[in-house]
Amino acid sequence: MDKDTLRHEIKKRLVQISAEDRVAKSKQICRQIVDADMFQKASVVMMFLSLPHEVDTTPMILHAWQQGKIVAVPKVSWEQRHMIPVELTSLETGLKTEKMGLRNPTNGVPVPFDEIDLVITPGLGFDRHGNRLGRGGAYYDRFFTHNKMSAARWGVAFSQQLCEEIPHDDQDAPIDAVVTEDEIIICQKN
């Protein structure tokens, strides 16, 4: 199956998840992450501001702040087709809703790439080998190739987003683990 067909298929699966299930599954995914050693040991965690059909990262962000961690989120430049990590200090202010409902910081102090310990990564689909299917813009793929990026990369997904195999090539940056409501999958690269 090609990437576009797979994207369409996974989007259909996502809209079939009820709002109640999405909330419950998101809480379970967040709980698994915040209880993991990788998260506990991290000083700086980069997360994303969820779109309506994605895993809701809000509980994770709040937990990180309660533990005194720095939370970074991507600030996307649509014109330059890249993103930089900036510190998030509020879920209420300093955000603007843009393309596809993405909340993008309007300001924020840049966080050096080499200070990030863990990146919680969105995606439409994942497989058990660390391959990730994004929305097609390759923003995270380019982000992960930054020469100072050494953070662990964990994808978050509902179990409906797991696929047998995600089509990939040399431009696609793999992740280290996928967390669903049911399990933490440490990816075995193929």
Q: Tens digit of pLDDT for each residue in 32-80?
A: 999 999 999 999 999 999 998 899 999 999 999 999 999 999 998 888 8
Q: What was the pLDDT predicted at 158?
A: 98
Which SS3 state, helix, strand or coil, does residue 93 take?
coil
CA distances from 31 to 14, 41, 51, 105, 148 (A): 21, 15, 19, 25, 29
Which SS3 state, helix, strand or coil, does residue 33 take?
helix
Has residue 24 got a pLDDT over 90? yes
Residues 152-171: b if buried by 16+ CB within 10 A, e if exposed: bbbbbbbebbbbeebbbeee
Q: Ramachandran region of residue 188, left (φ > 0), alpha (ψ -120 to 50) or beta?
A: beta
Band (pLDDT 50/70/90 cuts) for residue 190 is: low
Q: Which of 126, 32, 120 is nearest to 73 (CA)?
A: 120
Has residue 136 got a pLDDT over 90? no
Q: H or E element: which one contains 74?
A: strand 70-77
Angle at 122 between CA 8 and CA 146, to 5 degrees: 120
Mean pLDDT of the chain: 93
Has residue 175 got a pLDDT over 90? yes
pTM: 0.94
Has residue 179 got a pLDDT over 60? yes
Using CA atoms, how far apart are residues 89 and 102, in angstroms rounded to an integer? 17
Determine the topology of domain 3-186 in CATH: Rossmann fold (3.40.50)
- The domain segmentation of the chain, as residue ranges, is 3-186
